[in-house]
Structure 1
Amino acid sequence: MVAARDHADHNRNFLFHRTRDNCQILTQEDPYLLLTGPSRAIVIVNPITLEVQLKVKSKTEPEKDEPLAFDISNHHQTYFMEKVIYGPSFCRRCNIEFAYASLVPSVEATISTIQVVDGTWPDCFRGRVAAHITSIKEGTVLLLDSRDGAMPISCSTGAIELSRRVVSVNLKGGEVVISVVASRIGGEDAGVVAAQGEVAFRPKRAGTSHGTCELGFCRINVTVAWSLLSTLRDMRLAAEKRVTKK
């Protein structure tokens, strides 16, 4: 697991959380963890704490699993920069690099539903869903990558089960672009893009936004829910109220 703690509630906010029976294979060619979070936006009004606990799965018994990375580190960035920030963490058996961006002011965007309508997703296509934050260079967040497997789509509703749903969007001048890419599985055309579509959303302080992207063989409906984030001023006012009550 990889988790973040901020001053909004100090609880673990899981960025990556997999059980032993649902592990991820890492290679030198593909060393990136497929993140499963966060479950809410991370607030960086004070330094955030990143906690890492990763193990190498034994081929035999759980007792023989070996530690890969155990680390706790603090990261802070309280001003807006139009680029991704890279924070290295050095462990005994590997090095880990975190990439994040600070958006001021920002709102939380939750991709609440992404649904296949007016058609079906072919079994011979893998899928990739990503969110691009236009105000940040390299600001692409991977929401789902089925890799060499079929897309996780509900047979009854057509809903796509994303690996993660929450991103932050700059409230002034930014947009979030949701893209869906279908590519072929196996054969000589493996990895060749067969269709792709995208839909852009302007941020709101509250409420929902709806959009559609066309892939040819189907249409994808996307719903984004918006919510405000706690600010340093909000936390100070809350602290003053607690002091007044005492």
Structure 2
Amino acid sequence: MMMTDTWTSCSPDWGNCERHDSCTMMQIFSLKLPYTSASISGPVQLYGYMAVRDLLNPYRNYIFNRSRDDPFIVEQEDGFIQMTGPKRGIRNDGYVLLEFDMKIKTGDEESDDLQLIDGVAYFNNLTIMNATEHKQRIDGDHGAVDITLLLLRSAVEATVQVGISDLEHGSGLSLRLTASYISSHFVLRERIQLFHGVVDPETCEQNKYVVAVPWKVILSLKLHISQIGGSHRSVEKFCLCSPRKHGHENLTFELGFATVKVKVTWSTLDIPRSLLGPDCYMYDFEAAEDLGLLNLMGLEEAN
């Protein structure tokens, strides 16, 4: 959300800013566990990490990050893996490196656990078609992970936050939050799986969920909210948002048993070098060379 605040340089004004540009971005749609070793039965306790590194910033941007003490329970019926990120938009003007080390908890000691997947992969914006779902299976020693992603040109960053208040006494909430795009230019089969689980009654606020939104495409957020306890009511709400380069918008739903507030914050990834810090790069090729991406992708001559 570094470019959310308006700038005096926005031209002709912040609402119609032509000074700050959209860019090509990657959107992760979902992570799934398609199969595991025959020796594993029942729910799978999954931990470890999956992260991306783009040429905007060399640090890990976690897609999944769970400790061994707090694994995610994967039901083998659907294989759904709850993502914990990304924490910012993924720029895909060049290469994106995917790094992963995910394990299955099977015993009391870490030495008893099974390695699911471990390694790296990379994606090139020239080899993935725009606005077309790209599914890749990452095979490992004791199973595999399916990742579905999308390349979107001329996109901006939307950060979605959901807050719960006025919760009916003695009840809780289950929330399923998904996102999709409404466009006359392309049709996608899947929705982006942002959150599916029970809302913590202590914090009553979910994490920040970052979505890449193409310019002139509507972002559709779907909230399926179910009351746990009480009268067990269930409702569905939709939010339709048009992309902006700066600013934010708020929506409030009074449900009777709770109040749900949705905040969408807009930003571009056209970030001035002065804000990126000393560990970032002015040019993509400098980042690729310094991170060793050129050698990894066979673009550097052997010595």
- Fold agreement, TM-score > 0.5: yes
Q: CA offset at residue 80 of structure 1? A: 5.9
Alignment of 1:1-246 (within 5 A): 1-78=49-126, 81-111=130-160, 113-117=161-165, 120=168, 123=171, 125-135=173-183, 137-138=188-189, 140-146=191-197, 150-154=198-202, 159-162=204-207, 164-172=208-216, 174-183=217-226, 194-230=234-270, 238-239=282-283
Q: Which deviations, in whole Å up to 9, do the C-alpha atoms of 1:209-243 show, x marking residues without a partner? A: 12234545333221111111249xxxxx9349x9x
Q: 2: CA distance between counterparts of 1:121 and 1:47?
A: 50
- Offset of 1:201 from its aligned partner? 1.0
Count of matched residue pairs: 223
Q: Residues of 1 paired with 2:177 and 2:226: CA distance?
A: 12
Residues 51-99 of structure 1: CA deviation (Å, up to 9, x unaligned): 1101111322123222111121111235763332112222232222211
1:133 and 1:139 in contact (8 A); partners too: no
Counting strand residues as a fraction of each chain, which structure ranks higher?
2
Match of 2:274 in 1: none
Cα RMSD, aligned residues only: 2.9
**In 1, are the aligned partners of 2:117 and 2:138 still within 8 Å (CA)?**
no
TM-score by length of 1: 0.78
**Structure 2 CA distance for aligned equivalents of residues 220 and 184 of structure 1:** 12
1:176 alignment partner AA: L
Q: Deviations 1:95-116 (Å, cap 9, x if unpaired)?
A: 22211111110000112x4223
Q: Structure 2: where are the runs of 5+ without partners? A: 1-48, 272-280, 287-303
Task: Single out whichever of 22-31 and 209-218 deviates more from structure 2.
Answer: 209-218
C-alpha distance in structure 2 between counterparts of 1:121 and 1:176, whole Å: 33
1:199 shift after superposition: 1.4
Which structure has more relative contact order (CA 8 Å, sep 6+)? It is 2
Deviation at 1:125, TM superposition (A): 4.3
Change in 2 beyond 3 A, CA 1:43/1:168: same
User: What's the CA shift for 1:118?
Assistant: 5.7
2:140 & 2:100 partners in 1: Cα distance?
A: 10
- Secondary structure at the aligned position of 1:145 is classed as strand
Preserved CA contact (<8 Å) 1:83 1:138: no
Q: Percent identity?
A: 24
- After superposition, the Cα gap between the structure-2 partners of 1:104 and 1:72, relative to the gap in structure 1 and judged at 3 Å, is same
- Conserved? CA contact 1:199–1:213, under 8 Å: no
